[in-house]
Amino acid sequence: MDRTERLPDAELEVMQALWAHKEYPASSGALMEALAGKRWRTPTLLKLLTRLEERGFVRRDKEGRNNLYTPLVRREDYLAAESREFLRRLHGGSLPSLVAALMDSRAISQADLAELEDILRGGGGGA
């Protein structure tokens, strides 16, 4: 996908709510409900949705007086793009030093993996 731009926090929240919605299209009312915890006013939501529409992230269909929204970007695609950029930002995959990761691995070759598996199976163990 070409839309690798990173969404601002608020717009991402709207997208998260839309992605989490079980059926598409979703009405703005349903989205408002899903975002109830945010204390947004409806115009705020509509403005955010308009911006998302301009970015090409959602499609708006009119049904009577209701606006119905369908995501045009899948969550996986957007997530993949953002995490790619995230990793790039963080020195190509290494985590900042104030974080304790289970596995702060840089890229590891297949041969390395095989060797590690070997050690794990007990080959390298012993006294």
Under the criterion CB under 8 A, does residue 122 sit at the interface with another protein?
yes
Q: Does 101 bind another protein (CB under 8 A)?
A: yes
DSSP-based three-state secondary structure for 70: strand
Stretch that binds another protein, among 9-17, 25-33, 46-54, 60-68 (CB under 8 A): 9-17
Does residue 95 bind another protein (CB under 8 A)? yes
Residue 94 and residue 106 in contact, taking contact as beta carbons nearer than 8 Å: yes
Token pair in block for residue 8? 């601002």
Among residues 49, 47, 68, 67, the alpha carbon closest in space to that of 57 is found at: 49
Contact positions with another protein (CB under 8 A) in 44-83 = 79-80, 82-83
**By CB under 8 A, which span of 21-29, 40-48, 52-60, 112-120 interacts with another protein?**
112-120
Q: Could you say which DSSP state residue 81 is in?
A: H
